[in-house]
Amino acid sequence: MKAKKRFGQNFLIDNTYINRIIDSINVFSNDLIIEIGPGQGALTKRLKTKDCELIAYEIDEELKPILDSLIDASTHIYYQDFLTVQNIATSKEIVIVGNLPYYITTPILEHIIKLNLNPKEVIIMVQKEVADRFLAREHTKEYGYFTLWLKYFFEMERICDVPPKAFNPAPKVMSTVLKLKRRENKPQIDINKYQQLLKDSFKQKRKKLKNNLTNYDWSKIKEILTLNNLSEDVRAEELKEEIFIEIVNKL
């Protein structure tokens, strides 16, 4: 079957990397695995060997003849855009796996957070450049709103980088397998306010924090900065997560 560009179809064909993904997944038989974008089933076939309930969401109905052969009592395949999934009712621990289309990596992760699935692990293949952004440290240009937003929910680990030749068709860029583990010690905050603060702080990255946060009570923010020996002229990219948490709590 011809791969469809519009669905970001780059099928994994190299067993070395399929094994790296499968081996990095920690599941028990009473867990639920959710696969996003099973494609031609390269990962799905191997996920079935984990002996858990498995639900896969594939947007491309033309893959039905291939994927339907994988359905059994514990494997369900839905031909649906994952971004339109409103609810996944389960009391099981969830592990999410996906070799994601690169253009919707961030919306998919945002959707996972919005669905409140609280997965214990998310193992995803993303464009290497995007992985670098997710894993970025402060004082780098990659560090931004989404780095901090993901960090609030997950501890992130790079499993391996994957070259273009591991896929058919080969993408133009390097890829990276990331493991996102549920963070158990999340700071207690109002997460809607926190998300808005992060978005606003990085609205224009080159601007000073105070110029991005003109709608906030700057005297309170200044107090936190001073307490942490930081200048009033800092940019958001210089601030660690702890400082943003202190700020949102103060506000």
Contacts with 6 (C-beta within 8 Å, 6 or more apart), sequence order: none
Rounded least distance, CB 3 to ligand SAM, Å = 8
- Which of 60, 121, 237, 246 is the binder for ligand SAM (CB under 6 A)? 60
Q: Measured between alpha carbons, how far apart are the two ends of the chain, in Å? A: 55
Going by their DSSP bridges, the two strands 154-162 and 175-182 should be labelled as antiparallel
Task: Please report, as residue ranges, which positions from 38 to 57 form the binding site for ligand SAM (by CB under 6 A).
Answer: 38-40, 42-43, 57
Q: How far apart are CA 26 and CA 47, in angstroms?
A: 11
The answer to whether residue 166 forms part of the interface with ligand SAM (CB under 6 A) is no
The answer to whether residue 82 forms part of the interface with ligand SAM (CB under 6 A) is yes
The answer to whether residue 34 forms part of the interface with ligand SAM (CB under 6 A) is no
Residue with smaller CB distance to ligand SAM, 86 or 185:
86
Q: How far apart are CA 173 and CA 199, in angstroms?
A: 28
Q: How far is CA 182 from CA 67, 118, 120, 157, in A?
A: 29, 7, 5, 12
Q: Which stretch binds ligand SAM (CB under 6 A): 1-9, 114-122, 137-145, 201-209?
A: 1-9
Residue with smaller CB distance to ligand SAM, 77 or 239:
77
The answer to whether residue 83 forms part of the interface with ligand SAM (CB under 6 A) is yes
The answer to whether residue 144 forms part of the interface with ligand SAM (CB under 6 A) is no
Q: Are 105 and 133 in contact (CB under 8 A)?
A: no
Contacts with 32 (C-beta within 8 Å, 6 or more apart), sequence order: 52, 53, 54, 55, 90, 92, 93, 94, 95
Task: Please report, as residue ranges, which positions from 10 to 29 form the binding site for ligand SAM (by CB under 6 A).
Answer: 10-12
Q: How far apart are CA 244 and CA 235, in angstroms?
A: 12
- Which of 27, 101, 133, 134 is the binder for ligand SAM (CB under 6 A)? 101
Q: How far apart are CA 77 and CA 69, in angstroms?
A: 10
* Residues touching ligand SAM, count (CB under 6 A): 23
- Which of 32, 50, 55, 99 is the binder for ligand SAM (CB under 6 A)? 99
The answer to whether residue 119 forms part of the interface with ligand SAM (CB under 6 A) is no
Contacting positions for ligand SAM (CB under 6 A) = 7-12, 36-40, 42-43, 57-60, 81-83, 99, 101, 104
